[in-house]
C-alpha cells in the first residue's frame, strides 16, 4: 500500500474524531490546551489500537476468505464510509459542557467517544490484513493524524463552532469509499 493511500485512509478515519472534537471544542468558552491534548491522545490512541485488533483477527481468518478478500475490503470500506456520510447528515443533539449533560472531556465520556469513533478503524485493520499490508506504518500514521486532527478540531471548535463539522465527516466517508472502490477495481484487473 502506498504512502498516499495510508495517509488518505488516516485522514478518512480521523474525520469522525475531528467532528466530535469540533463539537467538544464548541462547548468551551476559551481553549484549554490540556483538554485538547487529552482528547487528541484518547482519539489517536484508540484509532491506532483498533486497526491492530482488526488486523490480528484478519490474520486468523485469511485462509477462509483469501479468494474474496478484495470484495470484503471493498464492502468494509464502503460500509464504513457510507456510515460516516450518513451520520454526517443525520441531525445530532448538541451537548453543553458544564450543563446537566456530561462534559466530553471527562475521562469516562472521552473513552466512550474514542471507542465509538474508532470502530471503523477495526474494519480497516481487517482490510489491511486481507491485503497483506504491514500494520506498523498505517497504525502510526492513523494515530498521529487522528491526534493532530482532534487537537485542531478542539481548537477550531472553541473559536468557530460547528460550521465544518458535518462536511468533514462526510468527506472522510467519501475518501474511504473511493479507496475501497480502487482496491476492488485493482483486483478485478481494471488498473
Average pLDDT taken over every residue of the chain: 80
Angle between helices 107-130 and 3-25 (to 10 degrees): 160
Number of H helices, E strands in the chain: 6, 0
Asked if the model's pLDDT at residue 161 lies above 70, the reply is: no
* Contact status, residue 9 vs residue 84, Cβ threshold 8 Å: no
Q: Is residue 121 part of a domain?
A: yes
| pLDDT for the residue numbered 94 | 45
Domain that holds residue 36: 3-91+101-187
Q: Is residue 116 part of a domain?
A: yes
pLDDT band for 46, please (50, 70, 90 cuts): very high
Q: What is the pLDDT of residues 60-99, one digit of tens each?
A: 876 676 667 678 778 877 876 787 678 777 755 444 454 4
| pLDDT for the residue numbered 9 | 92
* Contact status, residue 161 vs residue 24, Cβ threshold 8 Å: no
Q: Is residue 96 part of a domain?
A: no
Percent residues over pLDDT 90 in the chain: 24
C-alpha cell at 30: 476559551
CA distances from 27 to 39, 47, 48, 117, 168 (A): 13, 23, 26, 19, 19
Q: What is the pTM of this model?
A: 0.71
pLDDT band for 102, please (50, 70, 90 cuts): very low
Lowest mean pLDDT among 4-8, 97-101, 106-110: 97-101
Phi, psi of 26 (to 5 degrees): -70, -15
| Measured distance CA(21)–CA(164) in Å, rounded | 11
Angle between helices 3-25 and 69-89 (to 10 degrees): 30
Number of independent structural domains in the chain: 1
Q: Is residue 180 part of a domain?
A: yes
SS3 assignment, position 28: coil
Amino acid at each position: 500500500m502506498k504512502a498516499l493511500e495510508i495517509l488518505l485512509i488516516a485522514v478518512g478515519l480521523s474525520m469522525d474524531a475531528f467532528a466530535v472534537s469540533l463539537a467538544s471544542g464548541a462547548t468551551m468558552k476559551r481553549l484549554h490546551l490540556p483538554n485538547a491534548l487529552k482528547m487528541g491522545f484518547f482519539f489517536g490512541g484508540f484509532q491506532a489500537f483498533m486497526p491492530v485488533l482488526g488486523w490480528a483477527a484478519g490474520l486468523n481468518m485469511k485462509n477462509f476468505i483469501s479468494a474474496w478478500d478484495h470484495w470484503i475490503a471493498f464492502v468494509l470500506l464502503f460500509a464504513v464510509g457510507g456510515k460516516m456520510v450518513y451520520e454526517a447528515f443525520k441531525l445530532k443533539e448538541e451537548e453543553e459542557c458544564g450543563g446537566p449533560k456530561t462534559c466530553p472531556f471527562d475521562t469516562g465520556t472521552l473513552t466512550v467517544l474514542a471507542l465509538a469513533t474508532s470502530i471503523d478503524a477495526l474494519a480497516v485493520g481487517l482490510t489491511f490484513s486481507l491485503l497483506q499490508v504491514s500494520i506498523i506504518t498505517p497504525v502510526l500514521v492513523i494515530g498521529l493524524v487522528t491526534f493532530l486532527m482532534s487537537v485542531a478540531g478542539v481548537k477550531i471548535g472553541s473559536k468557530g463552532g460547528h460550521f465544518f463539522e458535518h462536511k468533514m465527516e462526510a468527506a472522510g466517508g467519501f475518501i474511504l469509499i473511493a479507496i475501497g472502490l480502487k482496491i476492488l477495481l485493482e483486483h478485478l484487473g481494471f488498473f
